[in-house]
A and B are shown apart, each in its own frame.
Chain A
Amino acid sequence: MTTTTVTTTVPTAARVVDAVKVYGTGDTSVRALDGVSVDFPVGRFTAIMGPSGSGKSTLMHCAAGLDTLTSGTAHIGDIELGSLDDRRLTLLRRDRVGFVFQAFNLVPTLTVAENITLPLDLAGGGGDREWIDALIDVVGLRDRLHHRPSELSGGQQQRVAVARAFAGRPDVVFADEPTGNLDSRSGEEVLGLLGRTVRQTSRTVVMVTHDPVAAAHADEVVFLADGRLVDRMESPTADKVLDRMKAFEVPS
C-alpha cells in the first residue's frame, strides 16, 4: 500500500492512518493506540470521545505533532509528520497548528495581547493584523488586552487561548478538554466560540473531551475505546452522545 494518495474528495486538514502507539516495552508495555485511522476534514469541528484510557489524548497528541507514533502515519495537510525532526515539527506546530489545553494555556509574564500573538511573534512575522483584530472582537477581550493572565477569570483565560489558537490561521486547532476546568456557563461560552469560529471562518477544530454536552457542539463525534476507533456520529446531541457513552460502561 503506497502512501501519498490524495483520493478523498473533501480535503483533510489532518489525518492518521493505522496509528499505533505503544508505551513501554515487554510485559509492562501499553498499547494506547491500536491501529486507528481517522480523517479530520477541513472546515469541520470534530470531537474525540471515549472513556479514560481509551487513547483519545494520545491520538490528539500524535495527530498534532506533540508525540510520535510507534507505527502508522500522521499528516497535517499533506505533510507526513514522521519524517520531520524536532525543529521542523516545532515550526509546523507554530505555523500550521493551534492549541487549546485544559489549563495553563497562557504565559503568565505576557499580556493578553502578547499571548494571542505569541506563535506569530515566535515566528518573527507580524501576522494578519485585521484577522487578529477581528478575532479579538469575536472572543470579546478588547478591554482586557493589556491585562496579565492572572487578572482574568478561568473562562476569560480559555477565550484568550482560543484567540491564540486561531491567530496564525492554522490548518487545524487541537483542543484538549478546553472546558474541563470551567463552570458550565464559561464552558458554554468557550464551546460556542469554537463552533462559531469554525462555521464563520471555515477553520478546522479537533477537540478531545469526555463531556457529552461539549461534544454536542461538534459537527461529528468519533468514539474511541481501548485504542480503537469504535464509532462515529454525525450531528450529535448531548443525549445521543450520553447514550452511546453509556454503552461503553457495559462490558462488551
Chain B
Amino acid sequence: MNGMNASVRLSVSSLRAHKRRFAGTFLAVFLGVAFLAGTLVMGDTLRAGFDTMFGNATSGTDAVVRSADAITTPGESEGVREPVDTDLVSTIERAPGVAAAAPNIQGAGQLVGKNGDPVGGQGPPTLAGNWITDPKLNPYRLAEGRAPEKSGEVVVNRGTAERGDLRIGDTTTLRTPDPVRVTIVGLATFGGEDGMAQVTFTGMTQADAEKYLTARPGEAASIQVRAAPGTSQQELVDELTTVLPGGVEAITGQESAAENTDMISSQFLTLFTTFLLVFSGVALLVATFSIHNTFAIVVAQRTRENALLRALGASRRQVTASTLVEATAVAVTASVAGLAGGIGIAAGLQALFPAIGFPFPEGDLVLKTLSMTLPLAVGVVVCLGSALLPARRAGRTAPLAALRETAVDTSGASRARAVTGVGLIALAIGVTLSGVLLIPSLWLAGTGATLALAAFVVLGPVASTTAVRILGGPLDRLRGVTGGLARRNALRSPKRTAATASALMIGVAVVSLFTVFGASLKATMDQTVSRSFAGDVAVSTPSFGAGGSGLSPRLADAVQRLPEVDTAVGLGRGVAEVDGKGRALTVTDPVALERTFDLGTVHGSLADLGTHGIAITQKEADKQHLTTGDKARLTFTDGRTDTFTVRALYGQSELAGDYVITRDAWAPHRTQDADTLLAVSFKDGVNTDTGKAAVEKVAAQYGNPEVQTRDEYAQSSAGGIDMMLTLVYALLALAVLIALLGIANTLTLAVHERTRELGLLRAVGQTRPQLRAMVRWESVLVAAFGTVGGLALGSFLGWVLVKSSDGASDSAFAFALPPLQLLVVALVGVTAGALAGLRPARRAARLDVLRAIATE
C-alpha cells in the first residue's frame, strides 16, 4: 500500500515538473473526446428536438388514414404510397368518435425566391400541399397573414420565405414542376419552429392542390382525422378500421409522429452522426499514436531517473505504476475537459445553426448518460492504452542503466521488423487483390485494407530511414550543414520518427482516400455522361436528394417545336413493382431516347413498346432471368397490375435507368408528373450557343430550369461531390491538427533531450536562424515522410474502395488519381510540418548557450 503511495507521489511530482511535455498529449485527448462528445450530445439534442417538434405539430391529429401498401425501390427508405380517395373524408366524418377529417394532398413544389433562384432542393424535400383549414389538423400554424382563399394564394413556412427573401403580398413562381404564379398571403410555423428542418412547404387551396399536385382530382396522400372529446386515439383507429375499405389503413397520430421522427432520424440524423463518429474515430486513432510517442519519449528520457529508482529499491511494478498513474492523471483531466469542450461545441452549434439557416429545434441540450460516459471512457482507454507499452518499458529499466551514458536509440530498423512488415504487406496486397479482382468481396477487401494499414505502421521505422534519406537528399545541397543536421536528426531514432509520422500518415491517408474516391466518382459521372449522353444540351433542375420538383413534362414538347432542335427527350421517373420487387422506371419516348442517348447494343426494338411493352438493361434482365418476349408483371402505386412484354434489351443504363416504359403506358398510373432530365440534340449546323440560347428562352417560361451543355452537365453532376469533399476535409482537419501537435510535441521533447548538443552548436557558431531552420527542416522531413506514406496508403485504399464498389454495384466505376489534388495534399502536409516545427524551433533558439553546455 505504502509502495503505491510512493508511485503516486512520484507521478504527481513528475507531472508538475514536466507540464509542458504533457501539453501535447492533453490536447490530443481533449480534441478527440470533445469531438466525440459534441457529436453525441448534438445527435441526442437534435433527436429530442425533432420529437418535440413533430409532437407539437401533429398534436391535433388523432389518426391518419392512408393506403396500406408502399412500393419501395432499392436505395430509398421511404416507399411511395398509393393515394387515397378524398371521398373517404365524408365516410370518415360519419364514423363514431370522429370530430373532423381533412384530406392531406402532398406533392413536390419548389418556390422561386425573389432573386429568381429556387429555394432549397439541396437534400431535404421541397413540398407543396393543400392548406388544411382545420387548424388542429394542420401541422402548420398560421403565424402571420391569412389562409389561402382563392386560387393562386399560398401560405409558406417562415423559414422558406426568409431564405427566398419573400414577404406577404409578394408574387412568385411555384414549380410543380409546371410553373404556377402564386401570391403569398400568409406565413406558417411547424411545431413552433420556422420549418420542419430544411423542408420547404407551400400550402395552397385544396382546389389548386388537386389541380397541380395530383394526377387526378379527388386523390390525397392521406386523410387527417381528429377524435371527438372522450375518444382515445386507439379507439378512433379501431372505429375507423371498421369503416375503411380494403387496402386503406388507419394509424394513430402518435404512430404517425413517431414514423416522421424515425424517418428524419434514419435518413438524416443517423447518417449525420455516424459520419461524424467515423471522423472522431480517425482523430482518436491519430491521437493514439501521438500519445504513445509522447510517453515513449518521456520514458526514454527518464531512463536514468527510473534506473536510479530501481537501484534504490523501487520494484518494477512501482516504476510501471508511477508512469501509469501519470497517464491516468493526464487521461482523466483531458477527458473531463474534452467532455466539457464537447458540450460547449454542441451548445455552440445549437446557437450557430439557426444563423446559417438551419433551424436547430429549440430546447435544452440533452445530456444522456451514454453520451457522457462513452467519450470519457474512450478518452481514458485511448490514453492509458497508448501509455501501457512505454510504462512497461519503464518498469523493465535495469538498475545499471543509471550508470550508463544514455545511448542513442537505434532500434526499430531490426531485421525481424522488416521481415514481419514485408510479410504483412504481401499478405495485405494478396488479400486485397483477391478481394477486389478474383472473388469480389467487400469483406476480403476490407480485411486487406486493414492489414495494409497495419503493415505500414509496422514497416514505418524500417522505411523511415530510407525515406528520410531520400527525401532529405536535396537538403544537404540546398541548405548545407543546417539541412544535413536536420536530416540526420530525423534519422536518429527511426522508431520515434516513424511513430510521429504515422499519426500524420493516417490523417493524410484518409484525406487522400476521399480525394481519390471523389475524383473517381467524378470520373465515373463524366464517363457516364460522355458515354451515354449523345445530346447537345441538358435541361435539369439543380437538386440533390429528395429536393426539387423536377421539370415540367410539357417542356419537352415546347423545346421540340424549336426550329433549332432535332430531338428533345424528357426522362420522367416512375415507380412500380416488377415481379414483386420495387423498381424505378424511366418514363420517356423510347425512340427519341435511343437517338439522344447511347444505349449500347440493343436487342429487339425500342420502337414498339406501346402501352404494354418494356425495355430492360441486359444486366438487369440477366439478373431477373428475362429476355425479349418474356412477360413481366408490373404493379403500380395505384394498386393496379398489368402484364408487360419485354420488347428490348439494351446495354448501358447510367442515365436511362434499368427499366424504360412509354408515357402512354405510364399515363393511367401516373402521379404528379415531372421529368428529371431533358436531353436536347440540335439539327445539323446549329451552333451549340445559339441552340442553348433558344432552349433557355423556352425554359424560362417553365420555371427557369438550368440549361447546360454536355460538359457543363457532366461537371454539375459532380458538384455534390465537391461539396461533400469540402465537408470531409473540414472534419479531417482535426485529425491532421492532432497529428501536427504530435510532431510539435516530439520535436519539443527532442529539443529538450538535445540541449547540450544544441548548446555546443551555438557555442561553435551556429546562428539562431540556422538553429531554427535546422529544427524546422527536421519537422518538414518527418511531415514529408508521413505525407508520402499517407498518400501511398490512401491512394491504395482509394483504389480498393473504388474497385470493390465497382464489383458491388451495377454501374461501372472509373478509377482516377487526381494528380493536382494529391499534389495539394502533399504540399499542405509538408507546409503543416513546417508550421508544426515553428514553436519547437523558437524554443530551441531561445536556449541559453551557457546553461546548455553546463547541463550535467
Which residues of A are interface residues toward B (Cβ below 8 A)? Answer: 61, 66-67, 86-87, 90-91, 93-95, 99, 101, 104-110, 114, 118-119, 121-124, 150, 164
Say which residue of A61, A94, A108, A109 sits within 8 Å of B765 (CB atoms). A94
Sampled A-B contacts (5; CB under 8 Å): A66-B853, A87-B767, A104-B756, A107-B485, A108-B757
Q: Report whether A91 and B765 are in contact in the complex, using a CB–CB cutoff of 8 Å.
A: yes
Say which residue of B481, B492, B765 sits within 8 Å of A95 (CB atoms). B765
- A108 to B410 CA separation, bound complex (whole angstroms): 13
Cβ of A110: which chain B residues have Cβ within 8 Å of it? 484-485, 488
Q: Report whether A61 and B767 are in contact in the complex, using a CB–CB cutoff of 8 Å.
A: no
B595 at the interface (CB under 8 A from A): no
Say which residue of A104, A108, A122 sits within 8 Å of B764 (CB atoms). A122
Tell me whether A118 and B481 are in contact in the complex, defined as CB-CB below 8 angstroms, given that A107-B761, A109-B489 are known contacts. yes
Q: Which 5 A-B pairs have the closest CB atoms?
A: A94-B765, A109-B488, A121-B481, A119-B765, A90-B767
Interface residues of B in 441-489 (CB under 8 A from A): 480-482, 484-485, 488-489
- A114 to B488 CA separation, bound complex (whole angstroms): 12
Closest chain A CB from B520 CB (angstroms): 43
- A23 to B343 CA separation, bound complex (whole angstroms): 51
Residue of A nearest to B487 (CB): A109
- A94 to B770 CA separation, bound complex (whole angstroms): 13
Residue of B nearest to A106 (CB): B760
Cβ of A93: which chain B residues have Cβ within 8 Å of it? 763-765
- A107 to B481 CA separation, bound complex (whole angstroms): 12
Q: Report whether A109 and B492 are in contact in the complex, using a CB–CB cutoff of 8 Å.
A: yes
Q: Report whether A119 and B764 are in contact in the complex, using a CB–CB cutoff of 8 Å.
A: yes
- A82 to B756 CA separation, bound complex (whole angstroms): 25
Q: Report whether B762 and A90 are in contact in the complex, using a CB–CB cutoff of 8 Å.
A: yes
Cβ of B763: which chain A residues have Cβ within 8 Å of it? 66, 93, 99, 101
Closest chain A CB from B849 CB (angstroms): 6
Which of A99, A105, A107, A118 counts the most chain B CB atoms within 10 A? A107
Closest chain A CB from B304 CB (angstroms): 15
Cβ of A123: which chain B residues have Cβ within 8 Å of it? 765
Cβ of B849: which chain A residues have Cβ within 8 Å of it? 66
Q: Report whether A122 and B770 are in contact in the complex, using a CB–CB cutoff of 8 Å.
A: yes
Interface residues of A, dominant DSSP = helix
B560 at the interface (CB under 8 A from A): no
- A105 to B757 CA separation, bound complex (whole angstroms): 8
Tell me whether A86 and B764 are in contact in the complex, defined as CB-CB below 8 angstroms, given that A67-B850, A109-B492 are known contacts. no
Cβ of A99: which chain B residues have Cβ within 8 Å of it? 763-764
- A123 to B766 CA separation, bound complex (whole angstroms): 8
B730 at the interface (CB under 8 A from A): no
Cβ of A121: which chain B residues have Cβ within 8 Å of it? 480-481
Closest chain A CB from B483 CB (angstroms): 11
Cβ of B757: which chain A residues have Cβ within 8 Å of it? 104, 107-108
- A101 to B854 CA separation, bound complex (whole angstroms): 10
Cβ of A86: which chain B residues have Cβ within 8 Å of it? 768
Q: Report whether B760 and A101 are in contact in the complex, using a CB–CB cutoff of 8 Å.
A: yes
Q: Report whether B480 and A124 are in contact in the complex, using a CB–CB cutoff of 8 Å.
A: yes
B403 at the interface (CB under 8 A from A): no
Closest chain B CB from A177 CB (angstroms): 12
Q: Report whether A66 and B765 are in contact in the complex, using a CB–CB cutoff of 8 Å.
A: no
Interface digits, B482-509 against A, CB 8 Å rule (1 contact, 0 not)? 1011001101100000000000000000
Which residues of B are interface residues toward A (Cβ below 8 A)? Answer: 408, 480-482, 484-485, 488-489, 491-492, 756-757, 760-768, 770, 849-850, 853
Cβ of B760: which chain A residues have Cβ within 8 Å of it? 101, 104-107
Cβ of B489: which chain A residues have Cβ within 8 Å of it? 109
Say which residue of B408, B770, B850 sits within 8 Å of A61 (CB atoms). B850
Say which residue of A66, A95, A106, A164 sits within 8 Å of B850 (CB atoms). A66
Cβ of B766: which chain A residues have Cβ within 8 Å of it? 90, 94, 122
Which of B756, B766, B768 counts the most chain A CB atoms within 10 A? B766
- A123 to B488 CA separation, bound complex (whole angstroms): 19
Cβ of B485: which chain A residues have Cβ within 8 Å of it? 107, 109-110
Cβ of A105: which chain B residues have Cβ within 8 Å of it? 760
- A99 to B765 CA separation, bound complex (whole angstroms): 10
- A246 to B356 CA separation, bound complex (whole angstroms): 85
Closest chain B CB from A136 CB (angstroms): 18
- A122 to B764 CA separation, bound complex (whole angstroms): 9
- A121 to B767 CA separation, bound complex (whole angstroms): 12
Cβ of B770: which chain A residues have Cβ within 8 Å of it? 122
- A110 to B765 CA separation, bound complex (whole angstroms): 16
Cβ of A95: which chain B residues have Cβ within 8 Å of it? 765
Closest chain A CB from B782 CB (angstroms): 15
Cβ of B764: which chain A residues have Cβ within 8 Å of it? 93-94, 99, 118-119, 122, 164
Cβ of A87: which chain B residues have Cβ within 8 Å of it? 767-768
Cβ of A150: which chain B residues have Cβ within 8 Å of it? 408
Closest chain A CB from B760 CB (angstroms): 6
Closest chain B CB from A205 CB (angstroms): 16
- A91 to B769 CA separation, bound complex (whole angstroms): 12
- A67 to B852 CA separation, bound complex (whole angstroms): 12
- A125 to B481 CA separation, bound complex (whole angstroms): 11
Closest chain B CB from A160 CB (angstroms): 12
Cβ of A119: which chain B residues have Cβ within 8 Å of it? 764-765
Cβ of B480: which chain A residues have Cβ within 8 Å of it? 121, 124
- A243 to B539 CA separation, bound complex (whole angstroms): 107
Q: Report whether B853 and A101 are in contact in the complex, using a CB–CB cutoff of 8 Å.
A: yes
Residue of B nearest to A104 (CB): B756
Cβ of A118: which chain B residues have Cβ within 8 Å of it? 481, 761, 764
Closest chain A CB from B478 CB (angstroms): 12
Q: Other CB < 8 Å A-B pairs besides A94-B764, A105-B760, 9 of them?
A: A86-B768, A91-B767, A104-B760, A107-B760, A109-B492, A110-B485, A114-B481, A114-B484, A119-B765
- A123 to B485 CA separation, bound complex (whole angstroms): 14
Closest chain A CB from B602 CB (angstroms): 71
Residue of A nearest to B769 (CB): A87
- A119 to B761 CA separation, bound complex (whole angstroms): 9
Say which residue of B408, B482, B484, B765 sits within 8 Å of A90 (CB atoms). B765
Closest chain B CB from A161 CB (angstroms): 10
- A123 to B482 CA separation, bound complex (whole angstroms): 10
Closest chain B CB from A178 CB (angstroms): 13
- A94 to B768 CA separation, bound complex (whole angstroms): 13
Cβ of A124: which chain B residues have Cβ within 8 Å of it? 480
Closest chain A CB from B407 CB (angstroms): 8
- A119 to B763 CA separation, bound complex (whole angstroms): 10
Tell me whether A108 and B767 are in contact in the complex, defined as CB-CB below 8 angstroms, given that A66-B849, A101-B760 are known contacts. no
Cβ of B850: which chain A residues have Cβ within 8 Å of it? 61, 66-67
- A106 to B754 CA separation, bound complex (whole angstroms): 12
Closest chain B CB from A145 CB (angstroms): 16
Cβ of B768: which chain A residues have Cβ within 8 Å of it? 86-87, 90
Cβ of B756: which chain A residues have Cβ within 8 Å of it? 104
Closest chain B CB from A92 CB (angstroms): 8
- A95 to B762 CA separation, bound complex (whole angstroms): 13
Closest chain B CB from A206 CB (angstroms): 15
Residue of B nearest to A118 (CB): B764
Say which residue of B481, B488, B491 sits within 8 Å of A122 (CB atoms). B481
Which of A86, A109, A123 counts the most chain B CB atoms within 10 A? A109
Closest chain A CB from B774 CB (angstroms): 10
Cβ of A91: which chain B residues have Cβ within 8 Å of it? 765, 767
Q: Report whether A108 and B408 are in contact in the complex, using a CB–CB cutoff of 8 Å.
A: yes
Closest chain A CB from B847 CB (angstroms): 12
- A240 to B340 CA separation, bound complex (whole angstroms): 74
- A87 to B767 CA separation, bound complex (whole angstroms): 6
Closest chain A CB from B482 CB (angstroms): 8
Residue of B nearest to A107 (CB): B757
- A95 to B489 CA separation, bound complex (whole angstroms): 25
Cβ of B765: which chain A residues have Cβ within 8 Å of it? 90-91, 93-95, 119, 122-123
Closest chain A CB from B771 CB (angstroms): 9
Residue of A nearest to B485 (CB): A109
Closest chain B CB from A213 CB (angstroms): 24
- A124 to B773 CA separation, bound complex (whole angstroms): 15
Residue of A nearest to B410 (CB): A150
Residue of B nearest to A111 (CB): B488
Cβ of A94: which chain B residues have Cβ within 8 Å of it? 764-767
